[in-house]
Structure 1
Amino acid sequence: MRYTALCLGLLLSAGPVLAAETPAKQLNSLLNKMDSMQAAFIQNTLDPQGKPLQTLSGQMLVRRPGYFRWDTEKPFTQQIIANGEVVWVYDPELQQATRQLLDKQVGNTPALLLSGDSAKMSESFTISEDKEKVAGKSRKTFVLKPKDKDALFETLRVSFSGSQLTGMQLRDSLGQKTDITFSQIKVNGKIADSVFQFTPPKGVDVINEL
């Protein structure tokens, strides 16, 4: 479903974390090491029985604080763009663009929250760590549970291999799971302001939810 992309989003790679720190502080330390990130993504959504429902692919960019872009390219096109103040969701096939205030979304939208002030994550999420071994390699996974009862998901898992972000997994209240894998990652490169600006094309129906 297309709304899934808005609930998804981005963490960035960083340096080592002290074991004595709480999970929230560890995740905060990782995030504070980055200013920007660019990556390709593949997003797979599965039903509660593990049956594939949808596979999406595209590109994402983020620049802290508050700048975010998630471009779905296949099998349909959609853009989600935040410029620090407002969030645009643009569906070219539907000829529709929705505009919302950024602060209305951060409580429910990990992608936007994690591109912003990481020190405030504990205000919206309960954060724990799930340590596991995969193919003989250590993998650090943070589990975020929203404190807001109206959140669009129940848990968000964010995984790192060493200091490198490897993916995210979102599970909703019905048991549907969305896995996102990142590749071609570039951290702390320069991203122009224009990347995060959006002007609705002529003839597009604009829904203003400010």
Structure 2
Amino acid sequence: MKRIAIVIMLSLFAGVMMGGLAPASAVTEAEKTIDTIIAGVESRYNVTGFTAEFDQESILKAMAVTDTASGRLMVRQPGKMRWEYLVPEPQTIITDGRDLWVFRPEENQVMVGKAPAFFGEGKGAGFLSNIKTVRNSFRISLETADDPEFYRLRMVPDKASADLIEVKLDVARESFDVVRIITVNVYGDETRIELKNVDFTATPSESLFRFEAPAGADVLQMNP
């Protein structure tokens, strides 16, 4: 430790002898823009909760299959989410930040698991329920969006997994609303979620983020 300290001091002394310390690396314009976007998103989503409608498209590259779905999303900070799929068939995914329930009413089936395994580290758009994790959990770069009204952020998780190797966010330039989320797994499969009619004035009730299995339901345990 002492040797390291001496080396640092010698370096500083050399800088002074050469007319002062060398300036720190300048922050690039892209880094400034990214910081502005993230700060705008953090401010926009600094609410107790919100609701939205969503359209989802899941693309399995190897099989050349595309599935679509739509429904409603409810979020309450921190960590609570409720995805109500209405099309093509009803299904509800609920988490209180710790536990996870997937209810399929037509089959009267409930699958139970732990939230971090399915919504942790950016999976399942889980960062929407705690937006500050974006800054702390991803390496972020700026890309050109398909629509000039949006910013596009490419986010690579610090802890990549087979389920998630990158996320792309399209953010509205004027409002800083997150309008599109694209997640990619190690196989190149993509899930695209578009958020619509986001309402930041409607805070969902706490009771919406817990679930009790209906009488006679088939309850299955999910493994991570």
- Superposition TM-score tier, normalisation by shorter sequence: 0.7 to 0.9
Superposition pairs of residues 107-118 of structure 1, within 5 angstroms: 107=121, 109-116=123-130, 118=131
Aligned Cα RMSD in Å?
2.9
Q: Contact between 1:108 and 1:152, CA under 8 Å: does it hold in 2?
A: no
Aligned mates of 2:115, 2:36 — CA distance in 1: 24
Indicate the residue corresponding to 1:40 in structure 2.
Answer: 53
- 2:17 corresponds in structure 1 to none
- Structure 1 residues 44 and 179, CA gap change in structure 2 (3 angstroms): same
Q: For 2:217 and 2:134, locate their aligned partners in 1 and report how far apart those are by CA, in whole Å.
A: 35
* Unaligned stretches of 5+ residues in structure 2: 1-28
1:169–1:133 distance in 2 versus 1, CA, 3 Å: closer
Partner of 2:151: 140
Question: Deviation per CA, 1:17-37, whole angstroms, max 9, x where unpaired?
Answer: x97647367325413432222
Structure with higher helix content: 2
How much has 1:56 moved relative to structure 2? 0.5
TM-score (norm 1): 0.75
Using the size of structure 2 for normalisation, the TM-score is 0.71
Compare the two structures and name the one with the higher strand fraction: 1
Structure with larger Rg? 2
Equivalent residue of 2:161, what SS?
coil
Which of 103, 107, 112 is 1:90 aligned to?
A: 103
Q: Distance in 2 between matches of 1:50 and 1:139?
A: 31
Identity of aligned residues (%): 23
CA distance 1:182–1:131, shift in 2 (3 Å): same
Matches within 5 A, 1:8-157: 21=32, 23=34, 26-27=37-38, 29-34=40-45, 35=47, 36-48=49-61, 53-105=66-118, 106-107=120-121, 109-116=123-130, 118-132=131-145, 134=147, 137-157=148-168
> Structure 1: 5+ residue runs without aligned partners?
1-17
Higher relative contact order (CA 8 A, sep 6+): 1
